[in-house]
Amino acid sequence: MLTEAEVKLLEAGSPCYVLKGTLITALARELAASRQNEIIECATKEEFGSLRAPNRRIALGADHGGYLLKEHLKAFLQDTGYQVVDCGTDSAEPVDYPDLSLKVAITVKTGQALRGIMIDGVGTGSCIVANKVPGIRAAHCYDRLTARNSREHNDANVLTLGGQVLPLEHATLIVSTWLSTAFSGGRHQRRISKIEQTEQQFLKDAIVAIAGDCSCAL
């Protein structure tokens, strides 16, 4: 049975996989629809297992300023039992952080990873880019308190870090805290819903504006 409580554990916008024939409560369907969690029925247990695998996948990316920390965190995540989707970069050669941050955000948005971690020199630029993607709630964290708060209160699904300002050990503690902290729901879900409503409103406004421009051109 799929209940409302189980849907609440999912990242907003991520797929919800169930075995074919699973009983889905009305409240679960309603919540999944409001949070854009598409319910996908799997015909076999094998298919169910393979599709749920992304729940242990972390999209990891960095520009040249975060490359060394990325490689350190990649080993840490793999040793902890996570599957890493390496979004680049692959060296310390200069690259543009918007390209890498977008890759991480889209990997999370499309359900190919549970969450994402992006690292640039300070972490701010990558956070700005990731938050341009609908459904992404990126948080720039610099200690365990901000990491815990971003998950408990904001249900952040992308973490950005500063590779040039965080020692390796400190960054590892931040990541460990962020990944192990669950969204607390309750009053915070109401606030997340308002964030999502704001996002949808501006998307609708943009579509209307584009449609208007097209009609004028005609």
What is the average per-residue pLDDT within 183-212?
A: 84
Length reported for the chain = 218
Same domain assignment for residues 76 and 135: yes
Same domain assignment for residues 134 and 37: no
Containing structural domain, residue 64:
53-180
Same domain assignment for residues 100 and 169: yes
What is the average per-residue pLDDT within 62-91?
A: 95
Same domain assignment for residues 63 and 17: no
Q: Does the annotation count 153 as an active-site position? A: yes
Catalytic residue, from 72, 153, 170, 188: name it.
153
pTM for the complete prediction?
0.74
User: Of 42, 12, 185, nearest to 111 (Cα)?
Assistant: 12
CA distance between the termini of the chain: 52
In a domain, 36, yes or no: yes
Q: What are 31's strand-pairing partners?
A: none
Angle at 176 between CA 175 and CA 178, to 5 degrees: 60
Cα 184 from Cα 127, distance rounded (Å): 22
In a domain, 195, yes or no: no
**Nearest 10 degrees: CA dihedral of 39, 58, 110, 149?**
80
Indicate whether 218 pLDDT > 90.
no
Same domain assignment for residues 107 and 25: no
**What does the pLDDT look like over 117-148, one tens digit per residue?**
999 999 999 999 999 999 999 999 999 999 99
